[in-house]
Amino acid sequence: MYTCSKSFEGFPCCHRQPNHEGHCRFVHGYSRSFTCWFGASELDENGFVVDFSSLKELRKQLNDQFDHTFLANSDDPLLSEWERLHELGALDL
């Protein structure tokens, strides 16, 4: 089995944990990173498990979903407020 990984870094976004009693209940952010692992029983004609150039659409999807966005829990009691702020252009939900 052949394996490889590709990391995608630099996706600043924020969130909160509404049920937490401490500071995590407040909006705060991080720069998120994602690592994808791939496996193959055989290498392709170029000797690759996966050709990283084929992952451009994945990078775009991660960027669209996480770059400068606000991640809200579906059960957040303030969800309607976050949606309103999104509609006003104050955050990207």
Residue 16: per-residue pLDDT: 97
Three-state SS for 7?
strand
Cα 71 from Cα 93, distance rounded (Å): 6
Domain ranges of the chain: 2-87
Pairing label, strands 28-40, 69-71: unpaired
pLDDT in tens, 4-58: 999 999 999 999 999 999 999 999 999 999 999 999 999 999 999 999 999 999 9
Residue 61 pLDDT class (50, 70, 90 cuts) = very high
Residue 85: per-residue pLDDT: 98
Options 1.10.10.60, 3.40.30.10, 3.60.15.10, 3.30.479.10; CATH of 2-87:
3.30.479.10
